[in-house]
């Protein structure tokens, strides 16, 4: 059931789109979250007629005209809860709620989906969430003009949200004091209803996963960087990756690989390409890394990845929670590295391919492909469940980079708790749908007809 509301200057204007369910009540109480807004007499409500009610107490609430769903329980009308998307702090310039580019395009799609389900959708920044006791937040809400079928973000003051989706987009911005304070308040007040609460630390994640026997078959040997550890791992493996613990998109990654003549190749990303150095011995390697210190790095075992047209590839998979709060695989695509490159990231020259096509061309055997697809489904559940449980945090989505060895074994290469937009349209569409269902589930609000 839907109604149109507006709140300004301590007055609620409300228009019910249908009054069949409420016509028999002489008095109706109207409540939003924990706040009792006012009482409506039966003499004042008629279908598609605007009723005006003075709020029971002075309130900063300010809501432009918007459509919202409601539930009637007894003689009380409950308005649908507020859903918020947490954006970057105010000091971060250039990214606003009205932007249509990159991740904001995705968030606008999500906001529109939730709006059509009748929720009040808001965008807030850490600066807006300052006091634990505050019952109201100033931010923007998404409204829809039914006459022109257009949506618009408008300033508003609304009740504290029921669900918050953390979309602070960079580690350093999330480390700001204002962001940390906001997250502490949201964690305290909302618990699991504040989700995707942080970025993941690569080594902490590995440390947790290696203690779960269901996850260990998919793990590569990964250790904290030190010269001693580097020397030990050079004796164990033919190739190593030296990675920053906190960076993403391949920034700062080095690959060290043994060559046939006992020399070593050291590859690194530079500008828009890759550079390669030849180190003649292990002692040369030690000298190089003594000069070029790598504090905050880890060392990961390298494997011989399957190749497509003499180019390595890996899988980018998206795991999300569904409408019942359970983890599942949303979709996966292949990323094929540029010729002679050791990373598959698209910004580094990688290309996007259909995973089924890659499997058919590189593996061919259907029984092997079926086995790998089952492993992919398993990874999409085991990995996020383990991290969520052991970290005591709440996530709704996790993306993973997964490699396949020449022996057809799957290995987890990277994990990201703040996935970027997927380039495959069908996966991206399904991603937004799953987020919509999961947020609706977290709101504990029964499904109602779409607007």
Written as one string, the DSSP assignment of 10-38 is TEEEEEES--TTTTT-SEEEEEETTEEEE
From start to end of 42-127, where are the E strands? 51-54, 63-73, 76-79, 82-86, 120-124
The pLDDT value given to residue 306 = 96
From start to end of 147-214, where are the E strands? 150-159, 163-166, 194-195
Q: Quick check: 451 pLDDT over 60? A: no
Dihedral sign computed on CA atoms, order 141, 145, 146, 148: negative
- Taking the C-alpha atoms of residue 90 and residue 229, their distance in angstroms, rounded to an integer, is 42
- Taking the C-alpha atoms of residue 197 and residue 190, their distance in angstroms, rounded to an integer, is 11
- Taking the C-alpha atoms of residue 435 and residue 451, their distance in angstroms, rounded to an integer, is 19
Longest dimension (CA), the chain: 93
Torsion angles phi and psi, residue 418, rounded to 5: -125, 75
Q: Quick check: 251 pLDDT over 90? A: no
- Taking the C-alpha atoms of residue 415 and residue 419, their distance in angstroms, rounded to an integer, is 9
Higher pLDDT pick, 294 / 305: 305
Q: Quick check: 307 pLDDT over 50? A: yes
From start to end of 74-119, where are the E strands? 76-79, 82-86
Give the pLDDT confidence of 200-247 residue by residue, as tens digits: 988 899 999 999 999 999 999 999 999 999 999 999 999 999 988 876
CA angle 160/94/395 to nearest 5° reads 45
Q: Give buried/exposed letters for 125-150 (b at 16+ CB in 10 A, else e).
A: bbbbbeeeeeeebbbbbbbbeeeeee
Mean pLDDT for the chain overall: 89
Give the pLDDT confidence of 32-82 residue by residue, as tens digits: 998 999 998 766 556 667 889 999 998 999 999 999 999 988 889 999 999
User: Crossing angle of helices 102-116/425-442, nearest 10°?
Assistant: 50
The pLDDT value given to residue 449 = 42
| Pair of tokens at residue 389 | 């449980």
User: Domain 83-195 maps to which CATH number in 1.10.150, 1.10.1760, 3.30.70, 3.40.50?
Assistant: 3.40.50
Domain spans, the chain:
2-80, 83-195, 201-216+306-442, 221-302
Give the pLDDT confidence of 416-446 residue by residue, as tens digits: 999 988 999 999 999 999 999 999 999 998 6
Give the pLDDT confidence of 359-390 residue by residue, as tens digits: 999 998 999 999 999 999 999 999 999 999 99
Give the pLDDT confidence of 136-194 residue by residue, as tens digits: 999 999 998 767 678 899 999 999 999 999 999 889 999 999 999 999 999 999 999 99
The pLDDT value given to residue 262 = 81
Q: Who contacts 5 (Cβ-Cβ below 8 Å, separation ≥6)? A: 12, 13, 14, 15, 63, 65, 66, 68, 79
Domain 201-216+306-442 sits in CATH 3.30.470.20: yes
């Amino acid at each position: 059931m839907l109604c149109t509301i507006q709140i300004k200057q301590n007055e609620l204007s409300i228009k019910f789109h249908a009054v069949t369910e409420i016509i028999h009540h002489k008095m109706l109480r109207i409540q939003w979250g924990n706040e009792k807004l006012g009482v409506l007499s039966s003499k004042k409500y008629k279908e598609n007629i605007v009723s005006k009610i003075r709020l029971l107490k002075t309130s900063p609430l300010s809501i432009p005209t918007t459509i919202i769903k409601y539930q009637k329980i007894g003689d009380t009308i409950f308005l649908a809860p507020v859903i918020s998307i947490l954006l970057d702090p105010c000091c971060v310039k250039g990214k606003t709620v009205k932007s249509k580019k990159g991740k904001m395009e995705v968030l606008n799609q999500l906001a529109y989906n939730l709006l059509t389900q009748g929720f009040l959708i808001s965008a807030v920044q850490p600066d807006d969430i300052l006091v634990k006791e505050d019952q109201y937040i100033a931010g923007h809400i998404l409204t829809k003009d039914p006459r022109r079928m257009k949506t618009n973000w408008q300033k508003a003051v609304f009740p504290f949200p029921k669900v918050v989706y953390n979309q602070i987009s960079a580690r350093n911005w999330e480390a700001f004091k204002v962001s940390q304070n906001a997250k502490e308040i949201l964690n305290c007040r909302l618990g699991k209803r504040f989700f995707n609460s942080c970025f993941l630390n690569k080594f902490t994640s590995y440390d947790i996963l290696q203690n779960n026997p269901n996850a260990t078959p998919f793990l590569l040997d990964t250790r904290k960087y030190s010269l001693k550890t580097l020397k030990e791992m050079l004796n164990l493996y033919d190739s190593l990756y030296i990675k920053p613990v906190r960076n993403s998109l391949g920034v700062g990654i080095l690959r060290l690989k043994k060559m046939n003549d006992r020399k070593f190749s050291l590859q690194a990303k530079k500008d828009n390409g890759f550079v390669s150095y030849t180190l003649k011995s292990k002692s040369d390697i030690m000298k190089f890394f003594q000069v070029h210190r790598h504090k905050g790095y880890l060392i990961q075992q390298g494997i011989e990845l399957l190749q497509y047209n003499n180019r390595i590839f890996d899988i980018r998979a998206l795991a999300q929670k569904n409408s019942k709060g359970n983890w599942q695989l949303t979709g996966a695509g292949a990323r094929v590295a540029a010729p002679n490159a050791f990373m598959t990231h698209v910004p580094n020259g990688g290309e996007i391919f259909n995973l089924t096509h890659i499997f058919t061309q590189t593996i061919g055997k259907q029984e092997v492909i079926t086995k790998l697809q089952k492993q992919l489904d398993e990874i999409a559940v085991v990995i996020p469940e383990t991290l969520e449980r052991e970290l005591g945090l709440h996530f709704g989505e996790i993306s993973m980079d997964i490699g396949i060895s020449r022996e057809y074994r799957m290995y987890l290469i990277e994990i990201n708790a703040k996935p970027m937009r997927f380039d495959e349209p069908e996966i991206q569409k399904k991603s937004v749908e799953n987020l919509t269902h999961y947020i609706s589930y977290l709101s504990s609000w029964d499904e109602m007809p779409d607007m």
